[in-house]
Structures are given as C-alpha cells and as structure tokens.
Structure 1
Amino acid sequence: MLINQLAHLSGVSTRALRHYDRLALLSSRRLDNGYRDFDECAVEEVRRIRLLLDIGLNLQAVAQVLPCFTPDGELTSCPTARERLRGQIHEVDSSIAQLQQLRGLLAGTLNNLVDG
C-alpha cells in the first residue's frame, strides 16, 4: 500500500510515517517510481509504534522495544521491554515528585501573598 493509504488506515501523518521509515521502525520497499510501498502488516506496526510513543518512550527506545512484540501484537516480557518500561516508570515518578514540589512552592507563595 502507498503511504497515503497507510496514513489513512493508521491515523498517522505521512510525515510521521516517512520519519518512522527513515529510522527503520517501519519496513517498506521502493517502487520503480520511487514511492514507498508498505505491506498490509504496516498498519499493525504503526499501532505498536504509537502505543510505545503514547506511553512516553522516545523513538530510540521504541526501536529497542519493537522486537519484543509477538507476531500477533502482544508485548512480551523480554528484558529490553522490562528495562525500558521500568525506566519510564522511574521518569514518571521523578516528574510527579518535581510537580509536587512545584505545587508546594506555588501554594506557599499564594498563602504568603499580601493583600494590597
């Protein structure tokens, strides 16, 4: 299928699909006219990429975790996936701690405002 059709079926822009293809996250072949041709399984591949991006992984981590999916689309408990997901949880926990600290500072500043 051509990139426009893949974009329509996956809900992802052609620009993003070209980027994924350049990073070898998607596989395509070039037609004689230079157009990218994607297999039908590319829709599922894009779904997997988007899932990993939606949980906060960067594209480098996505590339490392993609091989951990089974052919039917399930993420296995391979060491790479476990390590990356644990790392992402740690990053989320750190962000929460920073936001809680910021909230405390904001609340303290608000409480100390002088009516003028």
Structure 2
Amino acid sequence: MRIGELARVTGVSTRSLRYYEAQGLLPAERTANGYREYDERAVRQVAFIQDLYRAGLSSQLIRDIIPCTAPESSGGDCDALVARVRQVRDQLARQERQLADRREMLERYLSGAASPAGLAPPAP
C-alpha cells in the first residue's frame, strides 16, 4: 500500500509516516517512480510506534525496541532494552507520585486545611 492509504488506515498523517521512516522506525520500499510502498505489517508497526510515543518513549529508544519485537529476535540486547523501558516506567511512577503530592498540597490550601508556614489559618 502507498503512504496515503497507510495514513488513511492508521489515522496517522503522511508527514508523521515520513518522519517515522526518516527515524528508522518504519521501513518503506520504493517503487521505480519513487513512491513509498508498505506491506500489511506496516499497519501494526505504526500502531505500535504510536503506542510507544504516547508512553513517552523517544524515537531512539523506539528504534532500539522494534527489532526486539521480531519473531527472530536474539534476546541479548533486548534484555538491556527491557531494563531501560522499566527505568522509564519507574520514572513515570515517580513523576505521578510527585504530581499527586503537589495536587494534594494545593487541595489542602484551597480547602483551608493548610496555611502558609508561620501564618495563622484563615478565620472560618
């Protein structure tokens, strides 16, 4: 399928698909006239790339992950990648806890349950 059809099927812009190709995330065959041609696996590949971007992974990390998803993956480098992805996940969990703490602090101030240090709480 050509790039326009892949864009339509996946809901991803042709500009993004070209970017994925430039980043080494999505291979494309070229026809004699220079058109990009994709096989049926490209639809799942684009969905996978989109998922990883939404998860906050970088193009570089995604590029490293993609070979590990192939059936003939060796596993050696993939073990290190799994550890890197776990680090990203753990960092996200820390950020979530920090955001929850910050939100809770604001809630305490907004509800009157807390007041700035050294100042008396507002009168009821």
TM range (shorter): 0.7 to 0.9
Structure 1 gap ranges (5+)? none
Aligned Cα RMSD in Å? 2.4
Q: Between the two proteins, what is the percent identity of the paired residues?
A: 36
3-state SS of the aligned residue for 2:34? Answer: coil
In 2, the alpha carbon distance for the partners of 1:19 and 1:62 equals 13
- Map of 2:85 onto structure 1: 85
- Map of 1:38 onto structure 2: 38
- Map of 1:28 onto structure 2: 28
In 2, the alpha carbon distance for the partners of 1:25 and 1:51 equals 13
Structure 2 gap ranges (5+)? 116-120
> Are 1:65 and 1:80, in contact at CA under 8 Å, matched by a contact in 2?
no
3-state SS of the aligned residue for 2:40? Answer: coil
3-state SS of the aligned residue for 2:24? Answer: coil
3-state SS of the aligned residue for 1:32? Answer: coil
Following TM superposition, where does structure 1 have runs of at least 4 consecutive aligned residues deviating by more than 4 angstroms? none
**What TM-score does the superposition give when structure 1 sets the normalisation length?**
0.79
> Are 1:64 and 1:80, in contact at CA under 8 Å, matched by a contact in 2?
no
> Are 1:25 and 1:63, in contact at CA under 8 Å, matched by a contact in 2?
yes
Q: Which has the larger radius of gyration?
A: 2
**Cα deviations by residue, 1:61-87 (Å, 9 ceiling, x for unpaired):** 111111110349xxx793133113211
